[in-house]
Amino acid sequence: MKPSIQKLQKIFKLEADRGYDNHAVMGGLDRILDVWVNEAREDGLPDDLIQFVSDRIKDYGRLTEKSRAEMLQGLWRRIQRGETEEPTQETVEPTQPAMEEIEASADVSPLQELPEIAPTDQMESMPPFQASPAGATAQAMIQEAVQLPPLEPKALSAPLTAVRGIGERLAANLGRLELHTLRDLLYYFPRRYDDYSRMKPINRLNYGEEVTVIGTVQNISTRPARSGKLKITEAVIHDGSGSLRVTWFNQDYIARRLHPGMQISLAGKVSQYLGRAVMENPSWEPLEQEPLVTGRIVPVYSLTEGVRQKWLRTQIHKVVSYWGPRIPDYLPEEIRRSAGLMNLPTAILQAHFPDSWESLRAAQERLAFDEIFLLHLGALGQKRAWKDRAARVFSVDPEWLDAQKQRLPFPLTNAQQRVISEIQQDLQSGKPMNRLIQGDVGSGKTAVAAIAIAVIAHHGAQAAMMAPTSILAEQHYKTLLNLLTASYSQPDMDRLNSNATPPLRPDEIGLLIGATPEGEKQRIRAALAAGTIKLLVGTHALIEDPVEFADLQLAIIDEQHRFGVEQRAALRAKGDNPHLLVMTATPIPRSLALTIYGDLDLSVIDEMPPGRRPVSTFVLTPRERERAYTLIRSQVEQGRQAFIIYPLIEGNDHNDVKAAVDEYAVLQKEVFPDLNIGLLHGRMRPDEKDAVMEDFRQGKYHILVSTTVIEVGVDIPNASVMLIEGANRFGLAQLHQLRGRVGRGAEQSYCLLIPDHPDAAENERLQVMASTNDGFVLAEKDLQQRGPGQFFGVRQSGYAEMQFANLTDIRLVEKACRFAQMLFDQDPNLTRPEHQLLAFALQQSWGGGKGDIS
């Protein structure tokens, strides 16, 4: 026996002795591969055998113990045969094997069909080597693979060139659609569907309808159009009831494929030409073929250059009808049944080539269910993994906590109190907090965060707060400086009661944004590493710069929907299992939030500070702009201030979107020459922005003209008018954020929305703003109108990537999450054999799990 084989035998034996726990080799069996592959080569083992062994062992760790036993046995048999036999000739065509040949090389058998093999605990008791018939082919050998664990058929990872009819060039074209493997093609679902399932005789056609017609080609010819380059192919089709003239433009190949006397079916829209029914550019196919593009609901795929619809449809049909039924369904049968779902192979087939609209809907429901189910299952695992970690305990004396709350310049609302105590329980739990605070704009999230920071600072540890813009970071810096270092009420008590001592000194709070001068950055970094800065407020500069904390114990992320999951993970990674608090003003229904943010605990601030008056909102047409100006003027006369928001920074010639810079000039010169107007936009230097904001805050400007840099979190209580131009360009949730910039004082405030065009539909959409001040209602509308991808922003990876799931379908979301929870409770690590496929699917959809998902 060759030394490399001997080595494997030893390892396999040891592994069997240990009950297949994947510990025969430290770190897992796959660790031997690097060394072993070289040894095997030196021993002269055939390459395909080496490859085979490597492939199997790579997967070993993923298998259940039972599957491991089976796998090692199968592998051992294969090794023995490979070593003793004369090398055989490969019979599989190397270039373009047909489907049937791909099948032969795949392990397609689902779990249920696996022969029962009792796990053996001794290598010696493995089945003895059995000589295979002389001349056994590579295929026959690979048949062994059928014994292997029931993962997805391996062939699905085959490159597209494995499909007969797809060569290198076409495969490269498909690559531009991110289609590389058979699996990619299976999961490349149609962009839309055309319904040609309605068949009609020609004499019953109506103009404008989409139908399928079956008939005989009477004549067909191609001629150049009068106007030049265009080539027109014309045919007449007859079906006994009448004849139909058909035209194709620039597809003269059709004239070479269709001949008089041929039976074809045509699908398309009926139009009229000189009073007669005609069809332009219909889909067609010869009649004897299985109908793909006519007489049915036809899938329409997104294309790229060099990929034609009809061709792609044919390729996908080939792959789907062969491989669809061979895909094992990873969803446990009982879940599938009690959730009333279509099985996966059928769903894939029906999503491509639906038999009816009804079965298409069922297929889509199944695929949507899976998306949510897998995401939530992953989130539950993630949440538990975090909860398994230990975090520093931050308990506090209740009297101290009370005194700290007393120090704030206002009494906390009940909702704020409740959320603070939820946070406090997390902080003293010994497990890392992972909490999302949801609260509408102006509900007072910052004060809650301030108390959490106070607790951490009280113990001498560090906290960090990250905000999406430098304006907001600076505002937080100032607010927190006030809340945490100064003492507001009851100055006398301060002296008597040490509980009311401010938790921080001003020099213990740092601000780090992109514009912070390099020297200052260095000082901050040094102070952080030394632990003398206890609270660092900033933008993503916090995670981009080589910032190191001495002892980061609390990471806070404001307006979390503006950040990606990686950025959140990056901030968290600055400490050793720090407590995490994320805050958002994007209100979504609680049930939905619980499922979407499955990996976070949820707190809701569902109460506004007292004395707020709802903002009065009006939608104006562009012609009514004067009324808006009148209102602004009268508010300014009463000592208030106004925002005017534009969608762009500078205008361009191509459209009429109002731009802040241009309009600022007009407003200052023509509309309000007697008032002071400030200008703010994202292209200004941060110190300029800062100065403008500060001047506005101090009342030096009556009006601030701005782009949406102002959107997030800015707090100017004296402002009472928010005029938004080009309002149709914003989502409702964003408009609600903008509107939240006013109405912070006790006086009546106004929000005026002016769309670019007096478009009725837009007006109707915007009217929702006028009808409610409730962020939850608006968020739900926004979700319906724009879909989750837009709503959550592209950075919200998990949900944005969903193809089928619609998060407004709360029923489905809740159902999928409920089943995920049920399964998680039964088998959290998916170790049961019947969950192996699911474990694999989960791993695929999570791509290894990046840590954060929501």
Q: 545: burial class by Cβ within 10 Å (0-12, 13-18, 19+)?
A: middle
> 447 vs 837, which CB is nearer to ligand ADP?
447
Q: Which does 391 bind (CB under 5 to 8 A by kind): ligand ADP, Mg ion, none?
A: none
> 482 vs 845, which CB is nearer to Mg ion?
482
Single out the residue of 385, 387, 533 nearest to residue 465, CA to CA: 533
- The torsion angle over the Cα atoms of residues 23, 26, 28 and 31, rounded to 10 degrees, is -150
Helices (H), 560-659: 565-572, 590-596, 625-637
Rounded to the nearest whole angstrom, what is the least distance from the CB of residue 795 to Mg ion in the complex?
19
> 163 vs 437, which CB is nearer to ligand ADP?
437
Rounded to the nearest whole angstrom, what is the least distance from the CB of residue 823 to ligand ADP in the complex?
37
> 312 vs 452, which CB is nearer to Mg ion?
452
510: left (phi over 0), alpha (psi -120 to 50) or beta: beta
Residues 705-744 that bind Mg ion (CB under 5 A): 713
Cβ proximity of 704 and 696 under 8 Å: yes
Residue nearest to ligand ADP (CB): 444
Rounded to the nearest whole angstrom, what is the least distance from the CB of residue 439 to Mg ion in the complex?
8
Cβ proximity of 294 and 285 under 8 Å: yes
> 444 vs 726, which CB is nearer to ligand ADP?
444
Rounded to the nearest whole angstrom, what is the least distance from the CB of residue 597 to ligand ADP in the complex?
18
Q: Which does 264 bind (CB under 5 to 8 A by kind): ligand ADP, Mg ion, none?
A: none
Single out the residue of 307, 313, 308, 264 nearest to residue 293, CA to CA: 313
Rounded to the nearest whole angstrom, what is the least distance from the CB of residue 446 to ligand ADP in the complex?
3
Phi, psi of 714 (to 5 degrees): -65, 140
Q: Which does 715 bind (CB under 5 to 8 A by kind): ligand ADP, Mg ion, none?
A: ligand ADP
Rounded to the nearest whole angstrom, what is the least distance from the CB of residue 485 to ligand ADP in the complex?
16
Single-letter code of the amino acid located at 672: F
> 7 vs 478, which CB is nearer to ligand ADP?
478
Long-range residue pairs from 114-120, CB within 8 A, at least 24 positions apart, any chain: 114/70, 114/147, 114/150, 115/147, 117/69, 117/70, 117/73, 117/147, 119/20, 119/65, 119/66, 119/69, 119/70, 120/16, 120/69, 120/73
Phi, psi of 576 (to 5 degrees): -105, 100
Rounded to the nearest whole angstrom, what is the least distance from the CB of residue 588 to Mg ion in the complex?
17
Rounded to the nearest whole angstrom, what is the least distance from the CB of residue 585 to ligand ADP in the complex?
5
Q: Which does 447 bind (CB under 5 to 8 A by kind): Mg ion, ligand ADP, none?
A: ligand ADP
Cβ proximity of 657 and 755 under 8 Å: no
* Count of residues of this chain found to bind Mg ion when the rule CB under 5 A is applied: 1
CA torsion sign for 654, 657, 662, 665 is positive
> 721 vs 823, which CB is nearer to ligand ADP?
721
Rounded to the nearest whole angstrom, what is the least distance from the CB of residue 561 to ligand ADP in the complex?
13
Q: How far apart are CA 184 and CA 178, in angstroms?
A: 8
Q: Which does 413 bind (CB under 5 to 8 A by kind): Mg ion, ligand ADP, none?
A: ligand ADP
> 160 vs 412, which CB is nearer to ligand ADP?
412
Cβ proximity of 730 and 703 under 8 Å: no
Q: Which residues contact 184 (CB under 8 A, 6 or more apart)?
A: 160, 178
Q: Which does 734 bind (CB under 5 to 8 A by kind): Mg ion, ligand ADP, none?
A: none
Q: Which does 215 bind (CB under 5 to 8 A by kind): Mg ion, ligand ADP, none?
A: none
Say how many C-beta atoms besides its own lie within 10 A of residue 565's C-beta.
18
SS3 of 276, please?
strand
> 443 vs 836, which CB is nearer to ligand ADP?
443
- The torsion angle over the Cα atoms of residues 298, 304, 305 and 311, rounded to 10 degrees, is -30
User: What is the 8-class DSSP label of residue 532?
Assistant: -
Rounded to the nearest whole angstrom, what is the least distance from the CB of residue 717 to ligand ADP in the complex?
6
SS3 of 620, please?
coil
SS3 of 111, please?
helix
> 508 vs 711, which CB is nearer to Mg ion?
711
Q: Which residues bind ligand ADP (CB under 6 A)?
A: 410, 412-413, 416, 439, 441-447, 585, 609, 713, 715, 717, 744
Q: Which does 442 bind (CB under 5 to 8 A by kind): Mg ion, ligand ADP, none?
A: ligand ADP
| Binding track, positions 751-780, relative to Mg ion; x by CB under 5 A | ------------------------------
Q: Which residues contact 24 (CB under 8 A, 6 or more apart)?
A: 11, 12, 14, 15, 18
Rounded to the nearest whole angstrom, what is the least distance from the CB of residue 695 to Mg ion in the complex?
22
Q: Which does 283 bind (CB under 5 to 8 A by kind): ligand ADP, Mg ion, none?
A: none
> 366 vs 476, which CB is nearer to ligand ADP?
476
Rounded to the nearest whole angstrom, what is the least distance from the CB of residue 751 to ligand ADP in the complex?
16
Residue nearest to Mg ion (CB): 713
Single-letter code of the amino acid located at 738: L
Q: Which does 606 bind (CB under 5 to 8 A by kind): ligand ADP, Mg ion, none?
A: none
Rounded to the nearest whole angstrom, what is the least distance from the CB of residue 608 to ligand ADP in the complex?
9
> 50 vs 480, which CB is nearer to Mg ion?
480
Pairing state between β 750-754 and 719-725: parallel
> 464 vs 480, which CB is nearer to ligand ADP?
480
Q: In b/e form, how buried is each residue of 244-282, taking b as 16+ CB within 10 angstroms?
A: bebbbeeeeeebeebeeebebbbbbebeeeeeebbbeeb
Please report where in the chains the tokens 């008089």 appear, as a residue: 260
Cβ proximity of 534 and 462 under 8 Å: yes
Cβ proximity of 671 and 683 under 8 Å: no
> 713 vs 743, which CB is nearer to Mg ion?
713
Rounded to the nearest whole angstrom, what is the least distance from the CB of residue 179 to ligand ADP in the complex?
45
Contacting positions for Mg ion (CB under 5 A)? 713
